[in-house]
Amino acid sequence: MPNPILSIENLTTVVRKGTSSELQILKGINLDIFPGDFITLLGSNGAGKSTLLNVIAGNLTADTGTIKINAHDVTKQDETTRTKYISRVFQDPKLGTAPRLTVAENLLLAKKRGLKRTFLPRNLKRSLPEFKVLTKTTGNGLDQRLNTPTGDLSGGQRQALSFLMATLNNPTILLLDEHTAALDPKTSDQLMQLTDKTIQDNHLTALMITHRLEDALKYGNRLIALHDGQITLDVRDNEKASLTKADLLNYFATY
């Protein structure tokens, strides 16, 4: 087994501290994620799934524990600093893109992510052929709308653009926070196929929250379940492949 690309040790998170509604969300999470892992993350509402992604991304601070990326301690790093390692796609298609910029302009911003800013010309036209090929992979007509303001796209097109932007520079870790939940079934399936192909083709490491048991079983090499802020199931490869939807339903029914 290779060294973990992401290592979490004894992670706890408390919200609304010092109030009568103080609540511990994550309770001693220990988790190693290895290069090439595509993990589907399940759990009921309030289990701590999005909180876990927020803490990994750095926009929520852990109360105890450590987070290491490639053995480098990032626990105290803020969200902006962690963007050099981490990309994220949210559930809401309106997040992750600039609505007044065109599709091509959004992709150019993503392409230059993490690079030093200069006053040199942006050379958007030079990137258009590349963006044409890239957006054609979505299969939803996005390649015909490179000069369209992102705010004028359909929800499915905008979410596909968010995904392309998040994966354009092959992030160290890709976080998918129910990124298909707001889409209709056909569009959701289309984006999931693109997600799987992109992750496999580029050997990305990804953690994906989903409430769809079918997607949790179909995609990825590893499945993790959270309950009450703790990991209650962690299976991979053949053990994961042997699970059925009924197995998962029975498993959650024991809570």
Q: What is the mean pLDDT of residues 194-210?
A: 97
Sign of torsion over alpha carbons 120, 123, 124, 129: negative
Residues with Cβ within 8 Å of 118's Cβ and at least 6 positions away in sequence, in order, are none
What are the C-alpha distances in Å from 40 to residues 82, 188, 222?
22, 15, 6
What pLDDT score was predicted for residue 15? 85
Flag whether pLDDT at 188 surpasses 70: yes
Among 219, 94, 223, 77, residue whose Cα is nearest residue 155 = 94
231 or 18, which is more confident?
Answer: 231
Q: How many CB atoms lie within 10 A of CB 42?
A: 24
Q: What is the mean pLDDT of residues 162-171?
A: 95
Question: Which tokens is 105 given?
Answer: 């302009």
Flag whether pLDDT at 224 surpasses 90: yes
What pLDDT score was predicted for residue 44? 84
What pLDDT score was predicted for residue 164? 96
Q: What is the mean pLDDT of residues 213-233?
A: 94
Flag whether pLDDT at 8 surpasses 50: yes
**How confident is the prediction for the chain on average, in pLDDT?**
91
CB 157 within 8 A of CB 138: yes
Bridge partner list, 40: 208, 223
Residue 48: Cβ-neighbour burial (10 angstroms; 0-12, 13-18, 19+): buried
CB 69 within 8 A of CB 249: no
What pLDDT score was predicted for residue 17? 85
CB 160 within 8 A of CB 191: yes
Flag whether pLDDT at 113 surpasses 80: no
What pLDDT score was predicted for residue 116? 56
State the pLDDT confidence band at 119, using cuts at 50, 70 and 90: very low
Q: What is the mean pLDDT of residues 181-190?
A: 92
Flag whether pLDDT at 189 surpasses 50: yes
Q: What is the mean pLDDT of residues 128-145?
A: 94
Q: Where are the domains of the chain?
A: 6-253
Sign of torsion over alpha carbons 54, 57, 62, 66: positive
Flag whether pLDDT at 88 surpasses 70: yes
Flag whether pLDDT at 43 surpasses 70: yes
Among 125, 204, 126, 124, residue whose Cα is nearest residue 164 = 204
CATH architecture, domain defined by 6-253: 3-Layer(aba) Sandwich (3.40)
Q: How many CB atoms lie within 10 A of CB 107?
A: 25
What pLDDT score was predicted for residue 114? 57
What pLDDT score was predicted for residue 24? 93
Residues above pLDDT 70, as percent of the chain: 95
Least confident of 8-12, 140-144, 244-248: 244-248
Flag whether pLDDT at 78 surpasses 80: yes
Flag whether pLDDT at 5 surpasses 70: yes
Q: What is the mean pLDDT of residues 71-95?
A: 92
Flag whether pLDDT at 160 surpasses 70: yes
What pLDDT score was predicted for residue 96? 87
